[in-house]
Chain A
């Protein structure tokens, strides 16, 4: 099975991937307007201010929407979920939901989730999400 496509880190996203490698989900917050955003940019997409900081997010999220893909893709065995989660801090991100049956029953919209990192290369650990409150 071919591996999943690897992200190529850019200067503006390095903090995110360094955080992921150390088990932290990092977001950015605008100092003037307090907007929390993702994906990474060195300025606020809401007000344009370059006065932004990186912070560690809680890793808590809810399931916003998803599909269950039934065809093979590089690095994946079908069926598998491709999901968008709503992070507690506001932004949404794409991910896979793991540690739950890849069925409509196992994937209920608005279910509580928590981040878990899967190391896929020396540089890249991907943030995935699993149902919240389960022992690792």
Chain B
């Protein structure tokens, strides 16, 4: 049993009670009263939550004993993690609401083991939903089940039924129900209806939502008979609690020809009656959120459809009838020809281009499907691609897209990466907003000068790298091969003449041991590299490229830098599939010191690129001048631990990370991050260009 003083001290430390109004002497007895294992659990999670916010930790301690009495440990963990995720997304208030709503959470306590977490089944469900046809919907954990037409929101924990299996099924049914809401006109009809005409608008909307749940339930049963069976198994007597009027309405909306309008038609009689208890897979309808998502989507999709169409038409022209197209440049005439729609919502669009039916490519099909869901048709103005007169308009659109990529405004089009929060001992979801952009090419004398200055070294590097290329080897005296090994044959014949046994190893075979290596260089472009280091980095990269070109290994160079998690930048210097040309040289020359050193996102991003090469040996080499460090939060242990976690992830996926650093204090943290043998400290900046190529040679020999 821990002494109460000890607990008080730990609370003081974690919650920084000196600076807050939290009173540790009131909290300590709560923890002290628990069993030792529970004490450890609460103290551990106190520290982890406190690293996010002390108030969350405070509220957690107040409720932990009650939670522990009623619930399994892994469910409590999920509860707290959900609160912290909410803190990341929506701030302290939302997080505290979850923590304070312990009753809502303990409401599930009767089932203990049966609860299923979104965190565990979200991945499976996302694949599942991808497999359904129509618009691609993204799954997000939320407080209740509903959809805005683009996302499927599901509760973080489901424990409605008594078994895990049943609760997982409920997740599945819930997700499909929302998919059906999007694809079967439920939301669209709701948007077009003025529910206030029924008096109590909110109540009428709820009644509508319930009717739709009934209608879509029956529809899902027809589309996905297996799932329908599952629904009946989970809730054999779903209609039992319904009143006579509702039962009659349920009959009507379940008919095979029922539509969202059928549900609407029932509202005048039903909205005044008491609402039945919602079904477990009932999905709420939030009109405002649906409308605003739709508005943004419509504008976005119209723009990208017209861009895609223009691009596709240009390709078509290039492919087919160059001469003819030029003659009648502005006579391109695009119209919708046919929409084939299967009952499951899958659609195939055919367009007519200059009176010829054509099937547009997959991305256009996807956009058309999504637009068709919103309008139940394709408005003709959507099908005007860039003709001669609209050239300027299209240019404008392109400018806007690139602005988005450069991050001058919102986060649209960026990539998100998780980040490891050491204090929380858990990931912060979608924490880093990452944009990949081309490095700025600078055409100056740098390349020329550097190559001249290091002329001798370049020649030497080329030679030594060339020697590493494994050429074809001729294996002699094989039992099978392309050619007869004359020496062996002569010997064997002589043996045979002498009455000896003739060897069967009479062939030569070419064997080619291929170097199947891909290497990504990750170059620190943080502000601290300004000056000498930057120059040395650039020279090092240049010499490396010269050498690698001889070796034939696949390689890519990316720079990274950023300010805060919202602006993480990756600069493409050379892609894997790009050749080493003037522009790459100019981009190397254009590498300039930027902002801070946030490393985790860059490692995660480049790991993804490396793994996509499919090479047998994949190397990730970081060139850096110091510790990971970013404005405000990414300092000290946090930065080091996230980087370490990112490197562990990389290693798990089969990548060999290696670090070349100029930081002489690197010995202190590099072994922890990269492991004892996977780093090298170059003490003299001037040596960097010589060293990097040399280290690479040693690594891959």
Partners in one complex: no
